[in-house]
Chains A and B, each alone.
Chain A
């Protein structure tokens, strides 16, 4: 198994531009999570899906952020328009049956907004 795959690994964009981060979960996993890691705030859960349906998006910082999961194999996190304070490492994680079997994280996308 290739694990959770995130792309791109690094993204540098200018303020105001749209950014799309991508995630391919482990096949057969029914939960998908998006986290953001910053020095100031640590690891924050942004949103999670169960069977492609968003369950909790209370961590999404503002309307500029949106996430979708059109099928069991793919999810996107979009920021439009991006701002310098969005600079962070964004992690995707997937799980089979949630907390029962634990969570597998991708390698992350390092986003820099200049």
Chain B
């Protein structure tokens, strides 16, 4: 079975400060990892993915994520947060197949 853990229900950060949203995963086989963002009353928007290769993945809106195989983590980061980044963030994983399993989500709140 595959699973994703997002240990923080909410992350608060001041605008201009760096942000990190944590994600750990468990799969058998090589993981394909994804980050999605959800704004209120909207669908999920793709941010970035890791399939293979460079452990640092760059995505949309200045976000990046670092794949760490030994720690089975895929934390989402951004060097300088914006108020408009406030949203619900989901980490997701697939193992050997195409079934995408999501974490419970982390609410990011960026304050002035």
Contacts and interface: CB of A to CB of B under 8 A. Distances in A.
Interface of A: 4, 31, 33, 42-43, 45, 48, 50, 55-56, 91, 93, 95, 98-100, 102-108, 110
Q: Of residues B32, B43, B49, B51, which shows the largest number of chain A Cβ atoms within 10 Å of its Cβ? A: B43
Interface in B83-112: 90, 94, 97-105
B94 A99 contact: yes
Interface string B41-79: 111111001010000000000000000000000000000
Nearest to B102: A43
Contacts of A106: 43
Nearest to B32: A99
Contact of A48 (B43, B99, B103, B105): B99
A103 B43 contact: no
B106 to A, nearest CB: 12
Contacts of A55: 98
Interface of B: 32, 34, 36, 41-46, 49, 51, 90, 94, 97-105
A102 B49 contact: yes
Given A42-B105, A99-B32, A99-B94, A105 B44 contact: yes
A104 B100 CA distance: 12
Contacts of B94: 98-99
A4 B97 CA distance: 22
B46 A103 contact: yes
A58 to B, nearest CB: 9
Nearest to B31: A99
A95 to B, nearest CB: 7
A105 B90 CA distance: 13
A45 B46 contact: no
Contact of B90 (A43, A56, A100): A43
